[in-house]
Structure 1
């Protein structure tokens, strides 16, 4: 797997707090100036640390953005875990709606998330999140969301799960990009259309999987580093 953007993982509490302060400063500045005008110098100034400290922990500007995206992913999984705990009898269509709901709230509330969610750093460029580990082409977002859904939320396995999940992510990202193009709060009608799209897609995927039940891992989950 490619680097996640970190040069050195902090061990001491003081260093961990400094890293979180750097990420917080990065997120705040993204909302103010956008990713193109973000500089390490300004992040360091906002965080109250020397510029060299940022480079001590992160592999430059892209490494900092990648780590922020991974922190956002951890927050999303935590929010989904809390929602799933209060949703007995969860289904794939409703799970898709919950993902949209929580992502929308993160876009509205969490600094930097609208600029750095989980997409590419720029069209045709490097991704914020690292590649996944399966030949099906999923990234870390697709893999973590699917494994959470099956292993923690108790949803039934899907056939060809990472392709299904990856396509759902791309479709949802397109819908939310339209919804939030001109407003921090988002176009509620476009958000609802995106919820309906994802629910219908997962309903079809679940129906097909029941008709042709996958194995525990489903097809096309061969590990790149030596699987089947």
Structure 2
């Protein structure tokens, strides 16, 4: 039963991702997702809190895919620095945008039509979101990068700045404008180089 439920959830999310590439978030409906997935609409509501619940779960799935890609890159590049880590995040986000269905619409930026925010809030007092917390925890605990001062604000700002740069890169090109992608890599690398020079409290 659990395996069948997981398979059904993944099929629904796959259908949601495909439709996002075709109609965008504004045109997405639960009815059409259900039809594409070959399930009754009630089944979608059984697993998801409507349309926004679908988008949030898809964003979380995209985050897990990104973390998996970053783990592979970190394993292949021992001795990572914060500037290089920023470049790798840009590289993998761009690759995901090119090949992952729905990622062009449901990535990790904050600005959404109608004020929608796909990823849930984080748990830190500094106000980091789930992505900021997950990426920072991965960087320090798994990739071995040194702690940063005010880490969740630093990481949250980096995410939003990168999202703007990547969005600009893909506005005029299906594969992304290489020059704009490079500018975004340089921006994030320089930002993290500066952040890494600022010692955290008690260091």
Question: TM-score scaled by structure 2?
Answer: 0.96
Q: Retained in 2: the 8 A contact 1:157–1:214?
A: no
Between structures 1 and 2, the one with greater helix share:
2
Alignment partner of 2:64 out of 51, 63, 74:
74
Q: Retained in 1: the 8 A contact 2:108–2:159?
A: no
- Equivalent residue, structure 1, for 2:34: 44
Distance 1:173 1:102 in 2: 13
Question: CA deviation digits over 1:82-116, x for unaligned, max 9?
Answer: 00001111000000000000000000000000001
Long gaps (5+) in structure 2: none
- Equivalent residue, structure 2, for 1:5: none
- Equivalent residue, structure 2, for 1:150: 140
Question: TM-score scaled by structure 1?
Answer: 0.86
Q: Retained in 1: the 8 A contact 2:123–2:129?
A: yes
Q: Retained in 1: the 8 A contact 2:110–2:160?
A: no
Relative distance call for 1:215 and 1:31 in structure 2 (3 A) is farther
1:161 and 2:144 matched: no
Instruction: List aligned pairs for 1:34-183, cutoff 5 A.
Output: 34-120=24-110, 122-123=112-113, 125-183=115-173
Question: CA deviation digits over 1:143-168, x for unaligned, max 9?
Answer: 00000000000000001100110111
Following TM superposition, by how much is the alpha carbon of 1:184 offset from its aligned partner in structure 2, in angstroms?
A: 2.1
Give the CA RMSD over aligned residues: 1.3
Question: CA deviation digits over 1:36-80, x for unaligned, max 9?
Answer: 001111101110111110011100000000000000000000000
Q: Retained in 2: the 8 A contact 1:131–1:140?
A: yes
Give the paired residue count: 203
